[in-house]
């Protein structure tokens, strides 16, 4: 049995949505980390680092979304990365590693929530692809 599945419309949409948001956030954070830091109450290095991670991630998602088939493991890796990002985002708040302003708190929580939505959409898209793969084998 193949370890890849068809790229469903939902999965492609979810990957492109994630890629677009990651690219926009990455550009914002890389270009504006010094200006955003005092507004958000978040360390410059954290903002710059998050931006520098987001840009290649976005590029990878754009490339992946253009494929006709997706390796199952790669799809699950994207979902896992998003889940980890959301948990770490909330974790830095809960553990008190940062003391953001109210705007910074809203920013961290909003991007964590968005990433959870992306992961959920990607999960549904992968699930549909798995169903299509099983149906094709029958």
Tens digit of each residue's pLDDT (9 = 90 or more) over 48-80: 999 999 999 999 999 999 999 999 999 999 999
Residue 134's pLDDT band, with cuts at 50, 70 and 90, is low
Tens digit of each residue's pLDDT (9 = 90 or more) over 36-47: 999 999 999 999
At residue 108, does pLDDT exceed 50?
A: yes
100: left (phi over 0), alpha (psi -120 to 50) or beta: beta
Residue 25 lies in domain: 4-137
Say how many domains are in the chain.
Answer: 1
At residue 133, does pLDDT exceed 60?
A: no
pLDDT computed for residue 1 by the predictor: 45
At residue 2, does pLDDT exceed 90?
A: no
Residue 111's pLDDT band, with cuts at 50, 70 and 90, is very high
């Amino acid at each position: 049995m193949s370890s890849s599945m068809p790229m469903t419309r939902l999965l492609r949409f979810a990957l492109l949505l994630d890629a677009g948001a990651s690219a926009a956030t990455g550009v914002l954070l890389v270009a504006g980390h010094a200006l955003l830091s005092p507004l958000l109450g978040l360390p410059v290095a954290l903002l710059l680092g998050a931006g520098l991670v987001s840009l290649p991630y976005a590029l990878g998602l754009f490339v992946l979304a253009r494929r006709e088939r997706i390796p199952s493991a790669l799809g699950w890796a994207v979902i896992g990365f998003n889940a980890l990002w959301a948990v770490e985002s909330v974790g830095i708040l809960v553990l008190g590693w940062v003391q953001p302003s109210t705007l910074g708190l809203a920013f961290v929580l909003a991007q964590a929530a968005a990433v959870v939505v992306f992961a959920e959409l990607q999960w549904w898209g992968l699930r549909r692809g798995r169903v299509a793969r099983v149906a094709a084998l029958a």
